Amino acid sequence: MLAMKISRAKWERRDYLAENELRADAITSLRTSDDRLSWWRCDDDEEDVAQVALALAVGPNKGSFEKIDVVVLPEAILADAGLASESTKGETAVKDLRSRHVDLVKLDVERLAKVVRILDPRIRLGDTVVPFTKARLITLVATAIRDERLSANDLNVKLREKLAKASGTPEA
């Protein structure tokens, strides 16, 4: 399975769109870099999807905890659509999760539209979207620190401050 963070509000249907039309906001919410789109591998269970949420919560530019939604789908669906992928080192402070990262590569507008057409019905139905509250993300991060999978010192300074404040513990 592959999972990625989405902005669910950007996928909500609008009255002015026909059933087969896609929101421009949905397309532009998929942030690409160098014609790549970031995903994380996981098993099809909420515990493992939570590991994706953990990886996302402690990325290098994360300065706060915010509610996120993670969409999950079989990797084969993307491959069957002719979309190429490449395993890459994930940017997260949790070292044991870095090898789970994968990029869809060689994207252009047409290929990105394929991704949106694959995601759109799944997000609208909601059965493949797993929400993570701010409190749950804080718990995931605190647990990873307690289990020594993550050092508080590896977190962005602002995120470390917010974690200390939320958990009532002194900063590391």
Predicted local confidence at residue 126, as pLDDT:
81
Predicted local confidence at residue 124, as pLDDT:
87
Residue 118: strand, helix, or coil: helix
The CA-atom distances, in angstroms, between 134 and each of 3, 74, 99 are 18, 26, 25
Taking the mean position of all CA atoms in its chain, how far away is CA 137? 12
Arithmetic mean of pLDDT over the chain: 93
pLDDT band at 19 (very low <50, low <70, confident <90, very high): confident
Percent of the chain whose predicted confidence (pLDDT) is above 70 = 97
Predicted local confidence at residue 171, as pLDDT:
55
Is residue 165 predicted with pLDDT exceeding 90? Answer: no
Contact 4, 38 (CB under 8 A): yes
- The listed range with the strongest mean pLDDT (128-132, 158-162, 168-172) is 128-132
- Amino acid in position 38: S
- For 77-135, what is each residue's pLDDT tens digit? 999 999 999 999 999 999 999 999 999 999 999 999 999 999 999 998 888 999 999 99
Contact 11, 26 (CB under 8 A): yes
Q: How far apart are CA 54 and CA 137, in angstroms?
A: 7
- Across 72-81, average pLDDT: 96
Contact 73, 128 (CB under 8 A): yes
Contacts (Cβ under 8 Å, ≥6 apart) of 55 = 40, 90, 92, 94, 97, 100, 101
